[in-house]
Amino acid sequence: MLNFSRLKTALVIGTCVLGALLCLPNLLPAPASWLPWRTIHLGLDLRGGSYLLLEVDMNAVIRERLDSLADAARTGLRRAGVARFLVTPLPAQNRIAARIDEPDKLDAAAAALRELIAANSPGGGARADLELDTAADGSFTITLLPAALKERANAAVQQSIEIVRRRIDETGVVDPQIARQGENRIVVQLPGIEDPNRIKQLLGKTARMTFRMVAEDVNPNVSVPPPGVDFLPDESYAGAKIAVRRRVDVDGANLTDARAGQNSQTGDWVVNFTFDSIGSRRFADISRANVGHRFAIVLDDKVISAPVIREAITGGRGQISGHFDAKSATDLSVLLRAGALPAPLTVVEERSVGPELGADAIRAGAWSLAVGLVLVVVFMAVFYGLFGWFANIALLANLVLLIAVLSLFEATLTLPGMAGILLTLGMAVDANILINERIREEVRNGRAPLNAMETGFRRAFATIVDSNATAFLAHIMLFFFGAGPVRGFAVTITVGIATSMFTATMLVRLFMVRWYAANRQQPLPV
């Protein structure tokens, strides 16, 4: 017991000092940029802000994929000389079905579809994404394979995260955090944003913009649109519809820039955009070939503007003049700059807290922490005397180390996390109570002071490990299965249990050894 080596002493003290140093960044600004200045982050429930959980609509991803596949199949069949066929996407079964009504062209059709599959398989068909099945009656099905489906979903979520980040960055929110959660969810944390309405609106649009020709020869008031034409609602006139060709001439993905501005003549709000080189060329070709005709600018299946082409537009620049005000023009330009989402996003969970509620929570947490700490310290002093004070010093060291570890990992402190710190403090002294009671018993059993301390520590230690291990396990589970602020609770408690094992045994042991070395003749104050 007494041979507490110098090295060990230095290590114990050193750990505590290091812990104290690691706590500093929470109190002071970084003195130099090269210093690793890591701090605890306040959770949104304490600092105020918004938490949004978004879900990527996977059905839409699949539907879109099947639609484009069906389009490709139609083109391929037509090119192969098949004229009478019916291709239908079946999203529920992840496949498209093709019925060929010309029995003599079945082979040509099969070849065309096989070619389509080869073209759609990355890596030269080494690993197929699609599977072609032929039925006896001359119908084909092309199925999206599960692996490909998963990959596609994965890519859609990744891309969504990127777009979400760009859109949020455009709004100027400071320090947003965007992360994937699980298969198809995205967590967005916006510190300091009390009303996330604008962000929700920005994220609620897929913002897929397309430039297509208006089918001027089609009456949009008939009940079923002819093949290749969509009837889309006209944003300018409520209830009106415009017949628009399904073929996309230029896609919004070919935009390089979009800015809100005001038309110099009318003063109306407009969005000015610039195409990239591919977009410029296509737009020039289309406009040259269609002077005098109308084209439609379609955003998320709504026509925002359908102007008449007066002359060929070759500069790669254009202007959208819908019925905008300053805000909607800015929002549209943000959406166009950030790009289209691969699939619609739905907000499935929202939690917003105003900064003053957060401040209230911090105050309540800090008060509870202070009062609880004082109560525990007084209890230990009254019931355990000097050894209780040793435990109290260890308790403070535990608090310091806990904060140090949380800072080191840049953990997030939440209100339940503060409760966790407090409970940790209450439970940490358990180890000292165990040790003290044990030493007292050993003294009563007639052991000499040194022997009693030695035995007390040794015997109590197994119990301390056992009792902490179970609590540790329970809270690790809470961390893995919990969500939101309650994970902060699990974090502080698990870290607190770990640090308390060190302070309550090693540090207190050091104190006792030092004390005994100076007071050999006295009976133990237990």
Partner 1 sequence: MSLRTLLRPLLRPMLRIVPDNTRIHFMRGRYLGLMTSAILSTASVILFFYPGLNLGIDFAGGIVMEARTPGPADFTKLRLAMAAEGVRQSGVQRFGDESSVAVRLEAQPTEAGTQQMVAKVRAALEQAQPGTRVVRTDAVGASVSAELFQKGMLALGISMLMILFYIWFRFEWQFAVGAVVTLILDVTKAIGFLALTRFEFDLVMIGAILTILGYSTNDKVVVYDRMRENLRKYKTMPLRDLIDLSINETLNRTLGTSMTVFLAALPLALFGGSALSGFAWVMLFGIVVGTSSSIFIAAPILLFLGENRLRRDTAAPGKPAAKAPA
- 183 interacts with partner 1 by CB under 8 A: no
DSSP string over 428-444: HHHHHHHHHHHHHHHHH
Residues from 303 through 362 that contact partner 1 (CB under 8 A): 346-354, 356-357, 360-361
Distance from C-alpha of 199 to C-alpha of 506, rounded to nearest angstrom? 51
Whole-angstrom CA distances from 351 to 70, 347, 489 are 41, 11, 18
- 179 interacts with partner 1 by CB under 8 A: no
Rg over CA atoms, the chain: 34
Quick note: the x/- pattern for partner 1 over 8-47, rule CB under 8 A, is: -------------------------------------x--
Going by C-alpha positions, the residue among 436, 497, 503, 496 that lies closest to residue 469 is: 497
Which range touches partner 1 (CB under 8 A), out of 28-36, 99-107, 140-148, 430-438?
Answer: 430-438
Going by C-alpha positions, the residue among 395, 382, 519, 524 that lies closest to residue 453 is: 524
Shortest distance (Å) from residue 315 CB to partner 1: 41
Residues from 458 through 517 that contact partner 1 (CB under 8 A): 459, 462-463, 466-475, 477-478, 480-486, 489-490, 493
Distance from C-alpha of 284 to C-alpha of 273, rounded to nearest angstrom? 14
Distance from C-alpha of 90 to C-alpha of 277, rounded to nearest angstrom? 36
Residue choice 40, 66, 213, 433 for contact with partner 1 (CB under 8 A) = 433
Which range touches partner 1 (CB under 8 A), out of 10-18, 134-142, 412-420, 448-456?
Answer: 412-420
Going by C-alpha positions, the residue among 405, 400, 372 that lies closest to residue 491 is: 405
Quick note: the x/- pattern for partner 1 over 372-411, rule CB under 8 A, is: xx-xx--xxxxxxxx-x-----------------------
Shortest distance (Å) from residue 490 CB to partner 1: 7
- 452 interacts with partner 1 by CB under 8 A: no
Amino acid 13 reads: I
Distance from C-alpha of 133 to C-alpha of 90, rounded to nearest angstrom? 14
Q: Which is nearer to partner 1, 316 or 388 (CB)?
A: 388
Residues from 193 through 212 that contact partner 1 (CB under 8 A): 194-195, 197, 200
Other beta carbons less than 10 A from residue 480's beta carbon = 9
Residues sharing a CB contact under 8 Å with residue 229, sequence separation 6 or more, in sequence order? 215, 218, 243, 244, 245, 246
Size of the site for partner 1 (CB under 8 A): 85
Going by C-alpha positions, the residue among 199, 187, 514 that lies closest to residue 334 is: 199
Shortest distance (Å) from residue 148 CB to partner 1: 26
Which range touches partner 1 (CB under 8 A), out of 126-134, 296-304, 319-327, 437-445?
Answer: 437-445
Residues from 42 through 101 that contact partner 1 (CB under 8 A): 45, 50, 53, 55
Going by C-alpha positions, the residue among 248, 244, 232 that lies closest to residue 293 is: 244
Residues from 278 through 307 that contact partner 1 (CB under 8 A): none
- 224 interacts with partner 1 by CB under 8 A: no
Q: Which is nearer to partner 1, 275 or 384 (CB)?
A: 384
Distance from C-alpha of 168 to C-alpha of 337, rounded to nearest angstrom? 12
Amino acid 253 reads: A
DSSP string over 463-474: HHHHHHHHHHHH
Shortest distance (Å) from residue 296 CB to partner 1: 27
Q: Which is nearer to partner 1, 175 or 349 (CB)?
A: 349
Shortest distance (Å) from residue 116 CB to partner 1: 35
Q: Which is nearer to partner 1, 270 or 391 (CB)?
A: 391
Residue choice 317, 323, 444, 458 for contact with partner 1 (CB under 8 A) = 444
